[in-house]
Amino acid sequence: MPRVLDGVAIAADIKREVSEEVKKLTERGIRPGLAVVLVGNVAASEIYVRDKAAACAELGIYSEVITPPASVTTIEMLELLTILNGRDDIDGILVQLPLPKHVDTKILLDAVDPSKDVDGFHPINAGRLMAGRPALEPCTPAGVIEILKRSDIPIAGQHAVVVGRSDIVGKPAAMLLLHQNATVTICHSRTRDLGAITRQADILVAAIGVPGFITAKMVKPGATLVDVGMNRISERAEFERLFAGNEKREAIFAKRGSTLVGDIHPSAFEVSGAYTPVPGGVGKLTIAMLMANTVRAAKMRRGL
């Protein structure tokens, strides 16, 4: 039977560790602070931000949610970020994506002080990550590494294949795996004979954003599967393709009219040695790693 890598339990462990760090800093008169900028009214983003604020309250981190209207301009956002960059009580700044189309996302992410860039998106932090120097790492890729290490999955010397080359997940995940001494291959939509490469993977990381894209035929028996995908499906035909015969999922789908699925087809888990479920896997680590990054930023900014 393949082993399920429990992201919920691992996230809880990380949060407990962060809480202890916060207590130590508080005893020294330092309270880590996180500012989240949420533009407009996007339902999914509002849920994410609410969860982040709740995690801060749980762990003793100061949080502030700033909500400019959807009509905000790039210039006005730059002025806001300049203020946040200069505030000593704010250690981390997170600009919730996506932003309205008329706002220049790239300019704004580049405007965040790298020492407060708890999303790890700034080019300076990306460069530090590439060079193997101390940096604030993107939360989801960092969570991938934590799941593997805390589950005692060997990384050094293993062939890790990352499917997806985004700046947010694919590229940094590949770099973090490389720093853990894995041999890394990055695949993408233009890769020829993708299955021939994924079948070589001891560790297969799927971050391509397509429901059930990685099938059982594309997986090496006994491989560790890390599913970063988070796709909500609501069409019956798509549900049947992925979950036919799954009574638990059928009940969820019947009640809500939709269900979550990753980038790996559930049938592929049956041939794996270990896998991260969706939900309950890597997604649970993202907010935990954001909290860890906020505390790390607070310490790094003060030379601790």
Q: What is the pLDDT of residues 58-115, one digit of tens each?
A: 999 999 999 999 999 999 999 999 999 999 999 999 999 999 999 999 999 999 999 9
Checking if the pLDDT of 4 tops 90, the result is yes
Q: Which helix (H) or strand (E) holds 203?
A: strand 203-206
Name the average pLDDT for the chain.
95
Q: How much is the pLDDT for 102?
A: 95
Could you confirm whether 119 is annotated as catalytic?
A: yes
Q: What is the pLDDT of residues 187-242, one digit of tens each?
A: 998 999 999 999 999 999 999 999 999 999 999 999 999 999 999 999 999 999 99
Helices 170-179 & 139-150, crossing angle to 10 degrees? 40
Q: How confident is the model at residue 43 (pLDDT cuts 50, 70, 90)?
A: confident
Could you confirm whether 89 is annotated as catalytic?
A: no
- Name which of 231, 216, 233 is nearest 275 in CA terms: 216
- Residues of the chain with pLDDT > 70, as a percent, come to 100
Least confident piece of the model among 3-7, 178-182, 244-248: 244-248
Q: How much is the pLDDT for 46?
A: 87
Domain spans in the chain, listed from the N-terminal domain onward: 29-119, 139-285
Q: What is the pLDDT of residues 102-132, one digit of tens each?
A: 999 999 999 999 999 999 999 999 999 999 9
Checking if the pLDDT of 150 tops 90, the result is yes
Q: What is the pLDDT of residues 289-298, one digit of tens each?
A: 999 999 999 9
Contact 211, 268 (CB under 8 A): no
Q: What is the pLDDT of residues 152-199, one digit of tens each?
A: 999 999 999 999 999 999 999 999 999 999 999 999 989 999 999 999
Find tokens 């008329």 and name the residue: 102
Task: Calculate mean pLDDT across residues 253-268.
Answer: 94
Tell me if 29-119 shares its fold with 139-285: yes
Contact 204, 225 (CB under 8 A): yes
What CATH topology corresponds to 29-119? Rossmann fold (3.40.50)
- Please tell me the distance from the alpha carbon of residue 141 to that of residue 289, in angstroms, as a whole number: 9
Could you confirm whether 51 is annotated as catalytic?
A: no
DSSP lists the bridge partners of residue 4 as: 275
- Please tell me the distance from the alpha carbon of residue 261 to that of residue 75, in angstroms, as a whole number: 38
The CATH homologous superfamily of the domain defined by 139-285: NAD(P)-binding Rossmann-like Domain (3.40.50.720)
What is the separation, in whole angstroms, between the first and last Cα of the chain?
A: 45
Find tokens 């691992």 and name the residue: 10
Q: How much is the pLDDT for 41?
A: 84
Of the residues 119, 202, 227, 263, which is catalytic? 119
Q: How much is the pLDDT for 282?
A: 96
Of the residues 52, 116, 220, 284, which is catalytic? 52
Cis peptide before 98 (omega within 30 of 0): yes
Of the residues 96, 117, 171, 180, which is catalytic? 96
User: Does pTM surpass 0.75?
Assistant: yes
Q: How much is the pLDDT for 274?
A: 98
DSSP lists the bridge partners of residue 204 as: 161, 225
